[in-house]
Amino acid sequence: MAEYIPPAIEWVRQQVELYEGSGGKEGTTLRDTGLPVIIVTSTGNKSGAVRKTPLMRVKDGNTYVLVGSMGGQPKNPVWVYNLRTDPGVQIRDKTEVMNMRTREVSDPAERARLWDACVAAFPPYKEYQERTTRVIPLFVAEPA
């Protein structure tokens, strides 16, 4: 089994620990927003280590949409490169844990539809995209 490397940002690490440690009964929302989050477990593209990232919960039917916003920073979050290297992930949505495969969304019509769903789920995504020159990557996670 690969080594687990916790998130470097303290509040993110604490959220992952609370979410996972409670079996998905606590830590399931983004700080004080009350908006739901999921935990995405991926494999580090350079380290090969297990990585866990809390992301906003955006569902589209039986799939999840993963948004590489990083708050509108100029660079993609590291997990984007992890999924581009190894599309296999595990998603924890509260108490449910699912093995899934991801694919990056490239079709413009699909992207536009999913982007609207993402902004509806978490309105700050709109301003994050306005804040950066990069196109914020979207991934669809589908049952493996």
pTM for the full model? Answer: 0.96
| C-alpha 106 chain-centroid distance | 17
Domain 10-143 has CATH 3.30.2320.80: no
By C-alpha distance, which of 7, 14, 1, 21 is closest to 92? 21
Q: What is the 3-state secondary structure (H, E, C) of 85-136?
A: HCCEEEEEECCEEEEEEEEECCCHHHHHHHHHHHHHHCCHHHHHHHHCCCCC
Is 80 exceeded by the pLDDT of residue 140? yes
CA gap 81, 118 in Å, rounded: 20
As beta bridge partners, residue 63 has: 60
Tokens of 138: 């979207």
Domain chopping of the chain, boundaries: 10-143
Single-letter residue type at 139: F
pLDDT digits (tens, 9 = 90+) for 26-71: 999 998 889 999 999 999 999 999 999 999 999 999 999 999 999 9
